[in-house]
């Protein structure tokens, strides 16, 4: 199950993604309208649930993607990448094994968002030297 959440700035894109890819594939963390809300409330709740294994991975959306990315990366066990194109989405998975991606609603098209999600989901973590680096992140989280 994929956790998905947005603030008001990402609401329309989130709605499009869910409708296009099928609501049965998502656990929607809100927001549920385009009324103003605070992105940290949604981003932290979603990231904590991904960290605890409630959902396998997550997608966060706001206007720039930056706010939700910052929030998600404050949660232990989360590796969130800001994905503004297909190559970055691929590298987020292949090198960082990102378990959440942040999407900038104001800077990509709906079709690009779908491509980013598809590439992130199908790319495989390479391990090797990248695993060593992920292990260092985990050690830092413990200190």
| Set 55, 62, 80, 83: catalytic member | 62
**Is 130 designated active site?**
no
Token readout for 48 is 């904590």
| Set 8, 37, 95, 130: catalytic member | 95
Residues 6 or more apart in contact with residue 5 via CB below 8 angstroms = 14, 28, 29, 30, 31, 42, 43, 45, 46, 58, 59, 60, 61, 68
Positions marked active-site: 62, 95
């Amino acid at each position: 199950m994929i956790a998905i959440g947005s603030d008001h700035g990402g609401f329309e894109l989130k709605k499009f993604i869910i409708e296009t890819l099928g609501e049965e594939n998502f656990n929607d963390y809100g927001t549920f309208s385009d009324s103003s809300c605070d992105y940290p409330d949604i981003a932290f709740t979603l990231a904590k649930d991904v960290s605890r294994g409630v959902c396998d991975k997550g997608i966060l959306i706001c206007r720039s993607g930056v706010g939700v990315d910052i929030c998600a990366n404050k949660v232990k066990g989360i590796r969130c990448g800001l994905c503004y194109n297909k190559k970055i989405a691929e590298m987020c998975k292949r090198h960082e094994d990102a378990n959440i991606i942040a999407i900038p609603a104001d800077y990509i098209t709906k079709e690009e968002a779908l491509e980013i999600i598809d590439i992130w989901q199908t790319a495989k973590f390479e391990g090797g030297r990248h695993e060593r680096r992920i292990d260092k992140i985990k050690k830092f989280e413990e200190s």
